[in-house]
Every structure is written in C-alpha cells, then in structure tokens.
Amino acid sequence: MDRITKYFPELSSNQRKQLSELDSLYREWNSRINVVSRKDIDNILLHHVLHSLSIAKVVSFAKGTKILDVGTGGGFPGIPLAIVFPLCNFTLVDSIGKKITVADGVAQSTGLTNVNAIKSRAEELEGEFDFVITRAVAPLPTINSWVQKKIKHGGFNHLPNGIIALKGGDLKEELAPFGKRITKWSISSFFEEEYFQEKSIIFLER
C-alpha cells in the first residue's frame, strides 16, 4: 500500500482501507476462481491496482461521470478507480460470468455502491457513457467498433468523452488508423517502478 499512498497522498483513510483490502480479497477469490495469474497474485497491488490507478493521473473524473469498463475480468481497472472516484458511476462488463462474480463480490466486500457488474458482451450492452476504460482486452480498433456508439458526444471533464485504454509494447500499427485523435502517456512518467517501463495510457477522443 505504501507505493499507492506515495503516488496518491490525497486519498482518504477510508479509500486507503478499501484499496488495501483488495490484496486479501483477490487472493481469497483467486483461490476459488482464477482471475489473476498465479505469478501476479503476489504483486496484485502493483501489477493490477496501481496500474489501474494510472488513469487517475491523466483524468480526475468529475462527479456524475458514467464510466464503462470493458472486459473488466475480476474488476480492473474499474474497481480501484471506483474507490478513488466514489461520486462517479462505474459499469463493469465481461462476457465470462465467473469473472463478473469475482468483480461483484469484491465490489460488495469493499462497500462500493457506485459499481454495477454485468455479464455481457460490450457490443450488446444498453446505455450511454462518458468514458470507456479497458485494459489489455483487444486492439483499440476492435474496442472502438464495440463501443463507439455508446459514448456520448462532448463531455464535462477536462478530457472530452472517449476511450481510455491501458496498453503495453509497440503500438504504432494499432494506433495508426486514428491519427491525431490519439493522445498517449507513458506510465513511467507517473510511476518509477520498472514494471511500468513499456506501459502506456491511450486516449481516443469520441
């Protein structure tokens, strides 16, 4: 937890408590339903929680923002961000029911009332959102084809509405179709740990 509070000193005592609980909750759930690889479970706070929270370094979601987490798995990046932004609404979707069971269980155990976890394919989901967030689910052109019509035009955050994706590696080919609509941040400019060296936050404006 020290790493997280180092980068986010403004967190309340309750938010710190909720984030620290994620370590034991995911270990407990993972022993029953495998949503995090065995090699990663010992690094849950760094590889999953802090990685998810990197999004909070590029946008501070305003009260009432509606966010869709596509391919959430066990709840990343949605659950850590829902803890940090309690006045925003998070819808977590995954097509695999057991993963949604974990995400829902973790959200309930941490007392999150701003999270709705749904078993669904992203393209079949009803509703409109300000932002879509996602982590290592599919290439950005594929994600965009699933969700483009679900993102409202305009927006009231300092970033316009769009897709925020956590990505790794060489992205030139994947991002080429979007040209200047893309903004890219290197996570290593926010977090000093070696794990983040090749990782990026990608923003695609609606």
- In this prediction, the residues of the chain whose per-residue pLDDT falls under 50 are none
Please give the pLDDT value at position 39: 77
- Start-to-end C-alpha separation, the chain: 35
Whose tokens are 């009432």? That residue is: 64
Total number of residues shown for the chain: 206
What tokens does 194 get?
A: 């070696």
Between vectors from CA 152 to CA 124 and to CA 55, what angle results, nearest 5°? 90
- Give the list of residues 6+ apart from residue 97 with CB closer than 8 angstroms, or none: 119
Does pTM surpass 0.85?
A: yes
3-state secondary structure of 19: helix
Question: Please, what sign has the CA dihedral across residues 15, 136, 195, 43?
Answer: positive
CA distance 203 to 15: 26
Above pLDDT 70, what percent of the chain?
100
Q: What is the DSSP string of 61-109?
A: PPTT-EEEEET-TTTTTHHHHHHH-TTSEEEEEES-HHHHHHHHHHHHH
CB 150 within 8 A of CB 125: yes
Q: Write down the domain spans for the chain.
A: 2-205
pLDDT in tens, 18-72: 999 999 999 999 888 888 887 788 889 999 999 999 999 999 999 999 999 999 9
Please give the pLDDT value at position 162: 97
Class level of CATH domain 2-205? alpha beta
Q: DSSP secondary-structure letter at 166? A: E
What tokens does 104 get?
A: 């829902």
With 0-12 / 13-18 / 19 or more C-beta atoms within 10 angstroms meaning exposed / middle / buried, residue 123 is exposed
- Give the list of residues 6+ apart from residue 115 with CB closer than 8 angstroms, or none: 78, 79, 82, 90, 92, 103, 104, 107
